[in-house]
């Protein structure tokens, strides 16, 4: 079964969908927001790994 993308999106959204606008918005997310989010996530992961690998001072 084949379904034109614009029609499928319109039915799923229950309103008309402008594919050009969606593509532009998606491109913006991929180019601008995703890299920032990814770098923030990587930094948080590195911080959590660093805190797990620190050896507590000995009590002797």
Confidence category of residue 57, pLDDT binned at 50, 70, 90? low
Q: Which of 5, 4, 41 is nearest to 23 (CA)?
A: 5
State how far the Cα of 17 lies from the Cα of 1, in Å rounded to an integer. Answer: 21
**Model's pTM, two decimal places?**
0.48
How many Å apart are CA 18 and CA 26, to the nearest integer?
Answer: 12
**Above pLDDT 90, what percent of the chain?**
20
Predicted local distance difference test score (pLDDT) of residue 59: 60
């Amino acid at each position: 079964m084949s379904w034109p993308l614009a029609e499928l999106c319109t039915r799923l959204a229950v309103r008309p969908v402008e594919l050009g606008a969606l593509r532009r918005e998606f491109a913006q997310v991929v180019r601008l927001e995703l890299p920032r989010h990814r770098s923030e996530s990587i930094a948080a992961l590195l911080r959590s790994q660093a805190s797990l690998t620190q050896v507590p001072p000995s009590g002797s």
